[in-house]
Structure 1
């Protein structure tokens, strides 16, 4: 597996480990780009905390900050890193499918004997 794919997957999984960040991503997916202030009005967390979570999500490239009017920064969902993480998981699943199927066959044969 390519190191850049693995690094991207690691950043995505780290970002998704926190329920607040998952809620922010879900909100952006459902309602489109938003500012930290917009998100603080929709979620039970302060604007300052939202801003910190958005910074981590931007570092993982899961959101893209876009300058707006009067220095307000809107954050837009970026699904490309998520697709990379899905590819990483799919590759792991493929690597495990064959050995697990062989183990199941072996165990089934032992049970039959």
Structure 2
């Protein structure tokens, strides 16, 4: 599985998506802080964080007994680049379709 595929697979879960969204808006958080994002148990949040970490979407740092998480800028840049490349394809396709429909409409 490619890095981008792993990132999208990890983000396909609503809880993991909410975790990443919170990290993007609020910055680095501890696992305990993130537990309130979805109101789930500590083991459940740990499993979600592990999936995101393994996919390269978030980074972890440890300070004493606490673990802190933040979004990986590289992962977000990769997702953004992938999205933009596909956006250009679809915009181009839609523009061609629009032109063809306009040409067909003016013929009648």
TM-score range, shorter chain: 0.7 to 0.9
Instruction: Select 2:89's aligned residue among 62, 84, 95.
Output: 95
Q: Distance in 2 between matches of 1:34 and 1:24?
A: 10
CA change 1:106–1:30 in 2 (3 A) is closer
Structure 1 unmatched ranges of 5 or more: 1-5
Q: Deviations over 1:55-80 (max 9, x none)?
A: 0110121111112103x221122132
Q: Which residue of 2 aligns with 1:34?
A: 29
Q: Which residue of 1 aligns with 2:101?
A: 107
Structure 2 unmatched ranges of 5 or more: none
Instruction: Select 2:54's aligned residue among 19, 41, 59.
Output: 59
The answer on 1:83 being equivalent to 2:61 is: no
The answer on 1:49 being equivalent to 2:37 is: no
Which range is displaced more, 96-105 or 48-57? 96-105
CA change 1:83–1:106 in 2 (3 A) is same
Determine helix, strand or coil for the equivalent of 1:61: coil
TM-score, normalised to structure 2's length? 0.83
Q: Distance in 1 between matches of 2:93 and 2:26?
A: 43
Higher strand share: 2
TM-score, normalised to structure 1's length? 0.80
